[in-house]
Amino acid sequence: MSSFFLSISPSLALAFPWQVAAVMATAGSSCSTAWVPEQAQDGVSGAAAGRDENVHCVAVLGDTFVDLYCPLAEGQPLPFFGGDVLLRDGVSIKSGGSASNTAVHLASLVQSRPGGTTRGLKREVSFHTALGSDSFADIVRGKHARVGSGLVAASMSEEELAKCSATGTCVVISGSSDRAFMSSHGVMDLWHPQHLDIQKLQRANHLHIGGYHNFSRALQDGLPAIVEQLRAKRPSLLVSLDIGYDASNQWGYEEGNPESNRLLELLKHVDVFLPNEEEARGLSRQSEDSRAVSWLVKRVRPSGVVVLTCGPKGAVYQSTTDDAPQLLKAPKVDFKDSTGAGDAFNAAFLYAFVFEQKPLNKCVVYGLLGGSLAVMYEGACDTPLTTELLDY
């Protein structure tokens, strides 16, 4: 497994974004650029049913949480049962959720380049999720309105909302090197395939699915058919997937039937798989990153790719046409909070891949810069990404 190291001083990067460009140009000459998905060749041409031919759209489908953010005081460990720890500041309320964070960052990247086009087409980001009827839902709507993402909330009946009307909530405990979560799914437990606005999803050239393990079982089971339905109208549709942490630790495997895995069934429809180390190892049952990537890349679509994020170590990636995984190491930055770093990685990667149409290695570089910038700020998406530091 070959590697390349990006070393960027945060103060230099923030003050002199053109220095970032020089480093990224070096990375471009040092890594494989062989991967170009066959389906992407006509990915921005023609019109699907009801789709505006002048729009190039990414639809983000996935989870939403309102985070109750708890930053630990310097040197404090993550809490344990029977113990007590100190917070640095008071508890704050923030918009969160893997897919929601990705949509916020991606829309911000699009909005930060006014007039930006892909082959002359207008750029657009939509976000499809489930929201309750509480005040927390207003926090989420406000966040997406500020960055210009088109939020499409699931339409649920009064009878359904009578069972649960709460937006998903998550207690985020952020420490000096790691974080922990306690989550309540709220209305996401009621989110079924029939709640999706298929017509609006059909506008997309690219579908990103985020926070899979926070979906209802019905939606998980229905995703392969949903992707097939969308591709029936738009065969060139590309799909990316970030599954998130599985609190059940089953990783899609059926209890008592290790040969059956509903997540692997979905992976057959996925072009870009974006797990972190724990997710990749849990699903592949491999103990090393490179082996996990090589195992998973055999399960995605032809001409697909797996990009495994490894925190401060960087990212390991491999396409179906590569002989072995590649490693790109992350920039060294001043760490503040790792919450949502993977979501920022996803957004920056997708921006480069979908809207800028960069080769794979440079999409990974974009992702690493996005994730590295995210850990320099508190909160999952309090400081949305812009193109200023990602251009090269």
pLDDT digits (tens, 9 = 90+) for 228-251: 999 999 999 999 999 999 999 999
Judged against a pLDDT cut of 70, whether residue 43 lies above it is answered with no
Tokens describing residue 51: 């789709």
Residues 356-389: tens digit of each pLDDT? 999 999 999 999 999 999 998 887 788 899 988 6
Q: Give the angle 77-79-83 at the CA atoms, nearest 5°.
A: 110
Per-residue pLDDT at 53: 57
Residues 58-83: tens digit of each pLDDT? 999 999 999 999 999 988 998 889 99
Out of 258-262, 303-307, 309-313, least confident range: 258-262
- Determine the Cα–Cα distance for residues 209 and 222; give it in Å rounded to an integer: 13
Please, which pLDDT band fits residue 5 given cuts at 50, 70 and 90? very low
Which run of H or of E encompasses 14? Answer: helix 10-15
Going from the N-terminus, what domains does the chain have, and what CATH number goes with each?
A: 2-62+97-155+193-389 (3.40.1190.20)
Q: What is the pTM of this model?
A: 0.85
Which residues on neighbouring strands pair with residue 92, listed in sequence order?
69
For residues 149 and 106, the answer to whether their CB atoms sit within 8 Å is: yes
Judged against a pLDDT cut of 80, whether residue 56 lies above it is answered with yes
- Determine the Cα–Cα distance for residues 328 and 315; give it in Å rounded to an integer: 5
Q: Phi and psi (nearest 5°) for 384?
A: -60, 145
The conformation of residue 355, written as its DSSP 8-state character, comes to: I
Nearest to 363 by CA among 322, 300, 307: 307
Query: Which amino acid, one-letter code, is at 306?
Result: V
Between residues 179 and 306, the one the model is more confident about: 306
- Determine the Cα–Cα distance for residues 125 and 371; give it in Å rounded to an integer: 19
- Proportion of the chain above pLDDT 70, given as a percent: 83
Nearest to 279 by CA among 319, 318, 314, 243: 243
- Determine the Cα–Cα distance for residues 223 and 298; give it in Å rounded to an integer: 20
Average pLDDT of 265-290? 96
Judged against a pLDDT cut of 60, whether residue 102 lies above it is answered with yes
Residue whose structure tokens are 């060294």: 332
Residues 345-359: tens digit of each pLDDT? 999 999 999 999 999
Per-residue pLDDT at 26: 38
- Proportion of the chain above pLDDT 90, given as a percent: 67
Q: Give the angle 27-30-35 at the CA atoms, nearest 5°.
A: 90
Per-residue pLDDT at 89: 84
Per-residue pLDDT at 174: 86
- Determine the Cα–Cα distance for residues 353 and 357; give it in Å rounded to an integer: 5
- Determine the Cα–Cα distance for residues 169 and 363; give it in Å rounded to an integer: 31
> Which residues, at least 6 apart from 3, have a Cβ–Cβ distance to it below 8 Å?
314, 326, 327, 328, 329
- Determine the Cα–Cα distance for residues 185 and 101; give it in Å rounded to an integer: 16
- Determine the Cα–Cα distance for residues 382 and 101; give it in Å rounded to an integer: 9
Between residues 157 and 193, the one the model is more confident about: 193
Q: What pairing do the DSSP bridges indicate for beta strands 179-184 and 169-174?
A: antiparallel
Per-residue pLDDT at 45: 30
Per-residue pLDDT at 23: 38
Mean predicted lDDT score pLDDT of the chain: 85
